[in-house]
Homo-oligomer: A and B are copies of this chain.
Amino acid sequence: MPHFLTTTDDDFERRFMAILSAKREDQGDVGDAVAAIIADVRARGDVALVELTSRFDRLDLTPDTMRITPDDIARETASVAEEDRAALSMAVKRIRAYHARQMPEDLSFTDPEGATLGWRWTPVSAAGLYVPGGQASYPSSVLMNAIPARVAGVERLVICVPTPGGETNPLVLLAAEMAGVAEIYRIGGAQAIAAMAYGTATIAPVDKITGPGNAYVAAAKRQVFGRVGIDMIAGPSEVLIIADGQQDPDWLALDLLAQAEHDADAQSILITPDADLARAVTASVERLLPDLPRADIAGASWRDHGTVIVVRDLDEAAKLSNRIAPEHLELVTGDPDALAAKCHHAGAIFLGPFTPEAVGDYVSGPNHVLPTARSARFSSGLSVMDFLKRTTIARLSPGALAEIGPAAVRLAASEGLHAHGLSVQARLARLNEG
């Protein structure tokens, strides 16, 4: 049974806080093992990659066979069904169109003092995308990571994907090809992150690494951060659905289960002012759950982390949502826009009954890599901005320096930074001569 709370209950605040602060994941401390792998790859390069891949992925490679060649890709993807190809193609087109709108503008302006100021956006030169192997090898993740990088103008895109026992996922390769990634290595785990961060004879280093992974990959990303940029370290997925009493209980139940089937640590929450709906949705979940191929996973998630909260009204629902700061927020009410205006912290919002979260995972256009574990309070989903950086630019005319330079001299003096002041004064002296 999921948690069932009512805000008018005496112990609501205590129980809500317990759910809010529950740690849904403890990946164990793999930091030392990962540090050893990274040190090994830095020291021995390709030799270490070959040995580690043999050990962890039961796959014997040489530096020459690390890369999945264009021929390999052509052969592997030939068998993909036309319907899968068409679905991926629609996803590529829509994700690309949405992310193209995120490209920020450069700026240059001259202020009244004569200072020309602005900024310029430039892409990172090289980005590495990690793609997990086995069950969690999702073609949709390839698109969500590679397309923003491509749109941002990243020149070199690399994918590392483990192929345990040599087995590749044709749809992952096709997604990479469609997203414009040609450099793919059959290397996984912490060793792949180390190779992309530090480089080996075969794999040139990148500047930024993104993509999901297991505890080893997450720890490796943490450890190489600083040497390269990384995206977020994602936790288990979450959905919060706020619904009024007019909604179809089965639809909401399936949306809750779609989240739950990801992972036993995933969390699905329903908040509604309608106690009857709360009960109906719970009943639907129980009815629909047993037929799911992933009933074990979804069942464990719903039993351990599933939560239903009955509130006084939708305003109270919005307030709770802001405390939860969910990764995915479905607003399924008569006037979802009005409710959305009150929800300030969420990775992605899905409005109305015909926007199930699952369309956002694949084809609606926005990115599905989103902040988890309440980090939507301070961070955003993946975007083209993750593959760009901004350089600020300033050019002062002699008049502008004469105008604002003395204040810099004064402030430098107050901070005890004498050479700072002198560097401005030397120029001011020349201007005063002239």
Residues of A within 8 A of B (CB): 83-84, 86-88, 90-91, 94, 97-98, 101-102, 104, 107, 109, 111, 115-117, 119, 122, 124-125, 135, 138-140, 171, 207-208, 226, 228-229, 233, 248, 250-251, 254-255, 257-258, 260-262, 288, 292-294, 298, 336, 340, 344-367, 370-371, 373, 375-381, 383, 385, 389-398, 400-401, 404-408, 410-412, 414-424, 426-427, 430
User: Which of B208, B255, B293, B404 interacts with A423 by CB under 8 Å?
Assistant: B255
Q: In angstroms, how far is the closest chain B Cβ from the Cβ of A235? A: 9
Q: In the complex, are the beta carbons of B356 and A424 less than 8 A apart? A: yes
Q: In angstroms, how far is the closest chain B Cβ from the Cβ of A377? A: 4
Number of copies: 2
The contact sample of 11 A-B pairs, CB cut-off 8 A, is: A87-B408, A90-B407, A104-B104, A139-B414, A207-B378, A226-B375, A228-B378, A258-B417, A358-B408, A362-B412, A363-B404
Those 8 A-B pairs whose CB atoms lie nearest each other, nearest first: A229-B378, A366-B392, A351-B395, A254-B423, A87-B407, A87-B410, A358-B420, A380-B390
Task: Report the separation of the CA atoms of residues A207 and B323 in the bound assembly, to the nearest whole angstrom.
Answer: 12
Specify which chain B residues have a CB less than 8 angstroms from the CB of A229 in the assembled complex: 375, 377-379
User: Which of B98, B107, B367, B394 interacts with A355 by CB under 8 Å?
Assistant: B394
Q: In the complex, are the beta carbons of A407 and B86 less than 8 A apart? A: yes
Q: In the complex, are the beta carbons of B378 and A208 less than 8 A apart? A: yes
Q: In the complex, are the beta carbons of B364 and A415 less than 8 A apart? A: no
Specify which chain B residues have a CB less than 8 angstroms from the CB of A385 in the assembled complex: 385
Known: A229-B379, A345-B122, A350-B394. A421 touches B358 (CB 8 A): yes
Residue of B nearest to A422 (CB): B254
Q: In the complex, are the beta carbons of B411 and A88 less than 8 A apart? A: yes
User: Which of B86, B226, B294, B355 interacts with A395 by CB under 8 Å?
Assistant: B355
Known: A260-B419, A381-B390, A396-B354. A359 touches B138 (CB 8 A): no
Q: In the complex, are the beta carbons of B408 and A361 less than 8 A apart? A: yes
